[in-house]
Amino acid sequence: MFRKTILFVLAILLLCGGTCVPADGATADKTDTAEGRADKTYDQLKLLLDILAYTQQNYVDEIDTQKLIYSAASGMLRPLDPFSQFMEPRIFNEMKIETEGK
């Protein structure tokens, strides 16, 4: 139980520490190009990969990687607006079938 708590706190600290962005525009010159924006996006996504890898290696119990990825995708869209949401492929396909016009 203690180890799970430590891992959870570590993951939160990684998330909080990795999202700090300089407010003085120090990265403005790099993000002016499409390539610079893509590099910045990949750098930001690396945080998620690092957390996933750390959790896979150190979590006490076996983890469902797909469930973690789907949860991350859902959490990523949640702050946008009340209507944007991630649907697992199976649920999305079921919804398409139910709402398909005939």
Whether 27 has a pLDDT exceeding 60, the answer reads no
Domain limits at 3?
1-10+32-60
To the nearest 10°, the Cα dihedral for 58, 61, 55, 14? -100
Judge if 6 and 47 occupy the same domain.
yes
Residues 98 and 85 in one domain: yes
- Per the domain annotation, does 5 fall within a domain? yes
Same domain assignment for residues 56 and 80: no
Q: What is the pLDDT of residues 30-42, one digit of tens each?
A: 557 888 888 899 9
Q: Has residue 101 been placed in a domain?
A: yes
Residue 37 located in a structural domain: yes
71 and 51 in one domain? no
Has this prediction a pTM greater than 0.75?
no
Residue 66: its H or E element: helix 65-77
Tell me the C-alpha distance between 30 and 94, whole Å: 43
